[in-house]
Chains A and B, each alone.
Chain A
Amino acid sequence: MTPKTEAGTGAMETGKEQGLTLAEVRRNLQGVKGKKYWRSIDELAGTPEFEAAVLREFPDAAQEWVDPVSRRGFLKLMGASMAMAGLAGCTKQPDEPIYPYVKAPEDLILGKPMYFATAYPFASGSVPLLVKSDAFRPIKVDGNPDHPYNRGTSDPYTQGTLLDLYDPDRAQETTYRGDNREWTEFMMTWREKLIAAKANGGADIAILSTTVASPTLARQWKEAQALYPKAKFVQYDPVNRDTVRTVLGTKDVQYSLTGADVILSLDADFLSGSSFPGFHRLTREYSERRKLASGPEGATMNRLYTVESSTTTTGLKAEHRLALRPSEIPAFTAALAAALGVSAPVPSYGWTDAQTQYLKAVAADLKANAGKCVVIAGEQQDPSVLSLALRINEALGNYGKTVSFTDAINPMPTVQLAELKGLVNDLWSGKVDWLLMLNTNPVYDAPADLNFVDAMRRAKTTVHLGKHADETGSITDWQIPASHYLESWSDARSYDGVASVVQPLIDPLYKSHSAHEIVQAMLDESTKTPYDAVRETWQPLLAKSTDGKTADFEMNWRKALHAGWIDGSALPTAATATVAAINAPAPNSKDAIEVQFRPDPTIYDGRFANVGWLQELPKPVSSLSWDNAALMNEALMVRSGLAEQDIVEITVNGRAVKAPVLVLPGLPDNTITAYLGYGREAAGRVGSGTGYNAALIRTSETMAVAAGASLKKTDGIWGFAVTKSHYQDHRSKFFGGEGTGNNSLEADEALTRGIIREATLGEYKANPGFANEGETHPKVEREITLFPNWDYSTGNAWGMSIDLNSCTGCNACIVSCYAENNIAVVGKQEVRIGRNMQWLRIDAYFEGDLSAPKAHFQPMACQHCENAPCEQVCPVGATVHTPEGLNTMVYNRCVGTRYCSNNCPYKVRRFNFLLFSDYETESLKLMRNPDVTVRSRGVMEKCSYCVQRIQEAKITADKENRPIRDGEIVTACEQACPASAITFGNLNDKGSRVRKLHDNERSYAVLADQNTRPRTLYLAAVTNPNPALEPVVEEHAPTAG
């Protein structure tokens, strides 16, 4: 012992020389506990001595280890230095012993969730929500079922915001040039600046914000503007609505598909996800017209035409899809407008016969359905498309019927790009002293030619308010953690113009703040909380009753919070609006390669880059996860001497970016689709380093499309994580193929095997039982089984029906399933080798020639077979049948032989090959659904029909001594589905919706011939093609050129 002590003393002396010993640290921390303890460390952490001590990693450690008493102190300090990264911690309870509730808070019954109405403020319109909260932790985000806009449905982004809240990589501390600071310090500095700027009217202050969704923020800014008339407020999002602003000014257009028999989408991807304004309502209205609820007699359906430049689910759901290069679409629209009697110049262009025929057929169909049709223009298109589309609608008499107008739901509607350019000019000219960036990341996503980083550095003080210390936040002077919408008060309007209060469900997890606070600081009552600010905004409206008399504000406020929207806040609608007449530009020459920039279907503009659920979510159509790609058709790829997974250098606008190549069936030739949002460098542990940054070649002149790109193959192979294999069918006729290699092998097989069954409306009317007739359409045999049938004569028998006619493949169900069932994110490498854990997937099959395919989307989860192959082969009985017909996994019993998965013909079982669930990250623990086991390594898992929800409903019904009502149990996928394609219920209940759907003649079982007798049945799709139009088939010539 003695020599060691001596050595220790020596070390201590060394420590003395460097200025801080452990003893001193301990002395400083003596008697300090809890939050204060950490803060003390925080203060210590600021001293150079401490930093030196931490750098040495084991400050004077030697003697500590041999001294049993002080070893604890040493470990304490070690712990502290490890916690340096996130000193704030998120512990809410004190260190001293505390005792559980003797009397619980009035609202809280542990184990019983509460639901709060709120709204997710999104640039394209807020999504009204009902959020499930368990023990005061939000654990599931779903649409507000009472809200007329989305009626309880949601979308992938909205579902993903839950993980965004608990993202462990969120910024936790206010920092100034990398050092931790208090919020109050920032506020003091900010106030000082404001006082100094008062004299010049705030001329040297500029705020750059994401699109403002909050009327309160707009009001606050308006008031601030009055005090600082020269201060600037600029909004910018890489995906914005400048098109609408250019054409309609401060108005928004709203479409209604309920009365639309014919829908024409001009590059409007309104079925893919909420990047398109009104997605939830449009999808619902679209699918409602495809339910064929009244049976074959007099069945009517809408008909969708899509003219598009990328391949989207909107295009693939269309009866007739025409793929045009992005720059051809304005000219096509102009030609269509001319055909429909709108006077607008038509650029001359050499249309092919098929295109001309398509145009004629669409024009005729629209004309025949004047007043009962709608033409929807894409947001990422040239403004002329919207301008012309609206004029077409007007000419067809759709105004006031399927098309209407409101004031913009964005309270500060501006043409963002122009404003951003102005701001950058101001920055360059040195006019801006303070630049505040609110919830925006311009360093990453501003147009490349603006060189925003250098411009930003011209400002003396830069402030970034953001959930993450992202590309922008990591180089600004101040980085302030932004509150998530579930943490702070705000308000927003949904697509239909109705305002909701954004109600927080949880105290900020970290020391975060909202934009309201920063703008409020400019006002006289500088510390007014967002809560008070929001109340102030709605005071005038809520203090009035509907008939204009004064009413109790508090009561109406509570009502608004409870309901999830503010009564009477809807914006006035008008049947017409002034439409700027913008003429279509001529298309680019046919051999110019066009690169179009699109919001990513899963991570949008990059704001969801660190949300593992959305990264892992396979993108619709391409089934690509974890990356974006230079999506092109096979012809272009082959012509450019490329192969899939090659890395190609795309040069356009004098800028270049290296991107991996992936074929997307159905893309027009010479067109590359580039999704934004990837190539992030400071997104966090999940999002950094995925994909490539398409913004590098996106300039302010070419925000939507950049033409004239050149492609150069470079060294290297990318390695995609595509969740679905794509093979071409080279089989000869004898082996069941066409021998051409133009078709997809999977799709050919899916059709041969009767997995996909479809008919046209005419065929359906002529033969309503088409789905269960013929050799490839085997019928379920209910009785043939070796083992005795289960008895369901009493009680419940659960079942599901999925309407393939409604499903648009938007993926909302998958992300909802992630959240509900604590599904693990496995990462790109694991997805690459096929180990993604999604319980539910959407199978996409591309029928016919891959250059112009027809697609079928089929949600596929555990079918809960009555004659389940998995149950029979499990050696330990870990997957068993319940008396209510569920096929249940007993995780505790599973030893992981994976035999069940091999024997599952639907391959819907998912195995924890490694420890996929995150048991370490504290913040993620808060997010998990307490009713669902977090599965460990070596255990099989799969869809359970949300058995926890079934149990909950059963208990409730038991207590109330009644049977479970139809619709009382809603599975997570069903709940999210904007198309109501999924129906769950009791098959024993003769009146239940699912029973009726199972009895529907279109209902069929996938792989019926295997006699698995699944409980999930599919309603065969029925399409409504225009008889005048044969499917547009383009020459498939990958070897051409």
Chain B
Amino acid sequence: MATKEFITNDPRLDPVTGELRVIAPGQSFRSVTAKIADIVLTPHTSLGWLLLLAVSGSAATMLLVAVTWLFLKGVGIWAITQPVAWGFAIVNFVWWIGIGHAGTLISAILLLFKQGWRNSINRFAEAMTIFAVVCAGLFPLIHVGRPWLAYWLFPYPNTMNVWPQFRSPLLWDVFAVSTYATISVVFWYVGLVPDFGTMRDRAKSKFAQYIYGMLSLGWRGNVKHWMRYETASLLLAGLATPLVLSVHTVISFDFAVAILPGWHTTIFPPYFVAGAVYSGFAMVLSLAIPLRKVFHLEGLVTDRHIDNMGKVMLATGGIVAYGYGMEVFMAWYSASHWEFFMMWNRMFGPMGWSYWVLISCNIAIPLTTLWVRKWRTNLTFMFVMSLIVNTGMWFERFVIVVTSLYRDFLPSSWGTYRATKWDYMTYAGTFGLFLTLFLLFVRFVPMIPMHEIKMMLPSAKVKTAVEAGD
């Protein structure tokens, strides 16, 4: 690249700054604000949106039905059994939490690294994080045998004088996930405050003015406000950054701390984090591509974004592939019969198919094709790829949870696992919940941070350059 000739009329470069262009040319402060705010403030709710809401709402209702039945009958309506005592619930939990990671990575780490391109996608990526954490957080609560006592996992002062058992990774999970959820919500909300101010000012109806007024917490665009806002954002980004690494690390401890072959692996923390980011970016793509199409946001979410996300996927996918490779290598190199058998069983046992689904979806297909920029910027390709990677990442968790459990130490207690309709309904139901929340978000909250986009406009930049030149 370095030797490449500088072409002045390259449409990917900003003619003024000479930097790679993030958003399409021809945007102004006014057009950006109008573009984004009008999606929310328009009084016309599109039929498509209503239709989608109806579908996702029905799916969310199915979740309600499935969980109600679960509470009435017990977790036995799921396929979990001996020896596979964890099933879809944990797979889905890890998967959803992983999805959330991209949002935090985009909003926090990329902010700290001053990656301007993140601004277009960070709002909805963060929203995605929160909704994914909602879906994820549901599972640990409902998967316990006596969900009405799930609060015993929290360390709260009680008359029994009993504390949780602090050596258990499940307890660490409770802290990790609840911290993560809190920080994500706060970070997201703080980022929204200036935009809520804009919305308040632009809203026509009294009701909307009132609501957005409340939400904007008295934002006036004062310089002091901006200063505090920037500081808060930076601090929160600083807080959220370790969470990107720690949450999935802690979740990987659920497995890595156990003694089960296939779980008991020191490589789990990094590979879980990489996998989480991998699947998270895939999910951002799955959402961004239709969003920009439907709401005509091509100017704000550009091919450059898609391309960049493809690169991140390529990198994290590479780490994940290294993780898989290491597992196989260690199964042989460790000379541990447990590991060796586990790997053989994972690949060639009765559930071997799931391993090969995982390898094809996570490694074979994406890591061979994502190298090509042409394909990386091909929206259809990237959309399909994002679905493939998310399938693969779901199977990764399935392989880890189920295929390690169903044939463990004592061959006498080997078993199998066959998901029931309630498993599928619950999983599909969380999609409904996720989509419902996301649709509501798209309709009522500016999905792209207006003030951050505006900072990237040439008009904002030029002024700075002129001032610097003085």
Output the least CB separation between A337 and chain B (Å): 41
Decide if A725 touches B146 in the complex (CB within 8 Å).
Answer: no
Decide if A907 touches B150 in the complex (CB within 8 Å).
Answer: no
> A937-B74, A938-B146 are known contacts. Are A876 and B408 too (CB-CB below 8 A)?
no
B-binding segment of A402-410, A700-708, A796-804, A894-902: A894-902
Output the least CB separation between B196 and chain A (Å): 39
What interface size band does chain B fall in? 35 or more
Decide if B413 touches A939 in the complex (CB within 8 Å).
Answer: no
Decide if A913 touches B80 in the complex (CB within 8 Å).
Answer: yes
With an 8 A cutoff between CB atoms, is A736 at the interface? yes
Decide if A747 touches B411 in the complex (CB within 8 Å).
Answer: yes
B415, closest chain A residue (CB): A834
With an 8 A cutoff between CB atoms, is B149 at the interface? yes
With an 8 A cutoff between CB atoms, is A911 at the interface? yes
| Complex Cα spacing A149 to B408, Å | 42
B residues in contact with A937, CB < 8 Å: 74, 76, 145-146
Decide if A940 touches B412 in the complex (CB within 8 Å).
Answer: no
Decide if A913 touches B75 in the complex (CB within 8 Å).
Answer: yes
Tell me how many residues of A have a C-beta within 8 Å of chain B: 59
Decide if B344 touches A735 in the complex (CB within 8 Å).
Answer: yes
B residues in contact with A875, CB < 8 Å: 153, 164-165, 168, 170-171, 174
Decide if B146 touches A902 in the complex (CB within 8 Å).
Answer: no
With an 8 A cutoff between CB atoms, is B167 at the interface? yes
Q: Mark B57-70, 1 if CB is under 8 A from A, else 0.
A: 00000000000000
With an 8 A cutoff between CB atoms, is A749 at the interface? yes
Q: Mark B83-95, 1 if CB is under 8 A from A, else 0.
A: 1111000000000
With an 8 A cutoff between CB atoms, is A914 at the interface? yes
> A724-B412, A833-B79, A938-B144 are known contacts. Are A869 and B162 too (CB-CB below 8 A)?
no
Decide if A907 touches B83 in the complex (CB within 8 Å).
Answer: yes
> A845-B412, A895-B145 are known contacts. Are A902 and B152 too (CB-CB below 8 A)?
no
A843, closest chain B residue (CB): B412
Interface of B is mostly: loop
With an 8 A cutoff between CB atoms, is A873 at the interface? yes
Output the least CB separation between A111 and chain B (Å): 26
Interface of A is mostly: loop
Q: Of B75, B83, B150, B409, which contacts A901 at CB under 8 A?
A: B83
B residues in contact with A731, CB < 8 Å: 344, 348
B residues in contact with A844, CB < 8 Å: 412
A residues in contact with B145, CB < 8 Å: 894-898, 911-913, 937-940
A residues in contact with B219, CB < 8 Å: none
> A735-B344, A903-B259 are known contacts. Are A860 and B412 too (CB-CB below 8 A)?
yes
| Complex Cα spacing A907 to B83, Å | 7
Decide if A845 touches B411 in the complex (CB within 8 Å).
Answer: yes
Q: Mark A855-885, 1 if CB is under 8 A from B, else 0.
A: 0001010000000010011111100000000
With an 8 A cutoff between CB atoms, is B82 at the interface? yes
B residues in contact with A907, CB < 8 Å: 82-83, 408-410, 413
> A749-B341, A873-B169, A903-B258 are known contacts. Are A896 and B75 too (CB-CB below 8 A)?
yes
With an 8 A cutoff between CB atoms, is B27 at the interface? no
A residues in contact with B150, CB < 8 Å: 895
> A725-B415, A913-B75 are known contacts. Are A901 and B85 too (CB-CB below 8 A)?
yes
A residues in contact with B80, CB < 8 Å: 898, 913
> A898-B85, A902-B260, A903-B258 are known contacts. Are A753 and B412 too (CB-CB below 8 A)?
no
| Complex Cα spacing A877 to B153, Å | 10
Instruction: Give residues 297-344 of B contacting A (CB, 8 Å).
Output: 337, 340-341, 344
Q: Mark B443-458, 1 if CB is under 8 A from A, else 0.
A: 0000000000000000
B residues in contact with A903, CB < 8 Å: 258-260
Decide if B257 touches A873 in the complex (CB within 8 Å).
Answer: yes
| Complex Cα spacing A278 to B109, Å | 77
Decide if A835 touches B164 in the complex (CB within 8 Å).
Answer: no
B residues in contact with A833, CB < 8 Å: 79, 81, 418
Residue among B143, B147, B344 with most chain A CB within 10 A:
B344
Decide if B81 touches A905 in the complex (CB within 8 Å).
Answer: no
A residues in contact with B369, CB < 8 Å: none
Q: Mark B146-182, 1 if CB is under 8 A from A, else 0.
A: 1101101100000000111101111100100000000
| Complex Cα spacing A432 to B411, Å | 59
| Complex Cα spacing A906 to B411, Å | 9
With an 8 A cutoff between CB atoms, is B375 at the interface? no
With an 8 A cutoff between CB atoms, is B286 at the interface? no
> A736-B341, A898-B85 are known contacts. Are A905 and B164 too (CB-CB below 8 A)?
no
| Complex Cα spacing A843 to B84, Å | 18
> A903-B260, A938-B75, A938-B145 are known contacts. Are A877 and B164 too (CB-CB below 8 A)?
yes
B residues in contact with A789, CB < 8 Å: none
A residues in contact with B254, CB < 8 Å: 899
> A749-B341, A750-B411, A938-B144 are known contacts. Are A902 and B76 too (CB-CB below 8 A)?
no
Output the least CB separation between B61 and chain A (Å): 24
Decide if A897 touches B79 in the complex (CB within 8 Å).
Answer: no
B residues in contact with A735, CB < 8 Å: 340, 344, 348
With an 8 A cutoff between CB atoms, is A181 at the interface? no
Output the least CB separation between A485 and chain B (Å): 35
With an 8 A cutoff between CB atoms, is A1007 at the interface? yes
| Complex Cα spacing A877 to B171, Å | 11
With an 8 A cutoff between CB atoms, is A129 at the interface? no
Decide if A896 touches B86 in the complex (CB within 8 Å).
Answer: no
Decide if B169 touches A896 in the complex (CB within 8 Å).
Answer: no
A896, closest chain B residue (CB): B145
Output the least CB separation between A313 and chain B (Å): 16
B residues in contact with A993, CB < 8 Å: none
Decide if B82 touches A895 in the complex (CB within 8 Å).
Answer: no
With an 8 A cutoff between CB atoms, is A745 at the interface? yes
> A755-B410, A873-B169, A905-B408 are known contacts. Are A897 and B144 too (CB-CB below 8 A)?
yes
A876-B153, A902-B260, A915-B73 known, 20 other contacts, Cβ within 8 Å: A747-B411, A833-B81, A834-B83, A835-B76, A841-B412, A869-B258, A874-B168, A875-B168, A877-B165, A894-B145, A895-B152, A895-B153, A898-B86, A899-B254, A899-B258, A902-B83, A905-B259, A937-B145, A939-B146, A1006-B410
Residues of B whose CB lies within 8 Å of any CB of A are 73-77, 79-86, 143-147, 149-150, 152-153, 162-165, 167-171, 174, 254, 257-260, 337, 340-341, 344, 348, 350, 405, 408-416, 418
Identify 9 residue pairs between A and B in the complex whose beta-carbon atoms are under 8 Å apart, listed by A's number. Answer: A724-B413, A755-B411, A876-B165, A877-B164, A899-B168, A907-B410, A911-B85, A939-B145, A939-B146
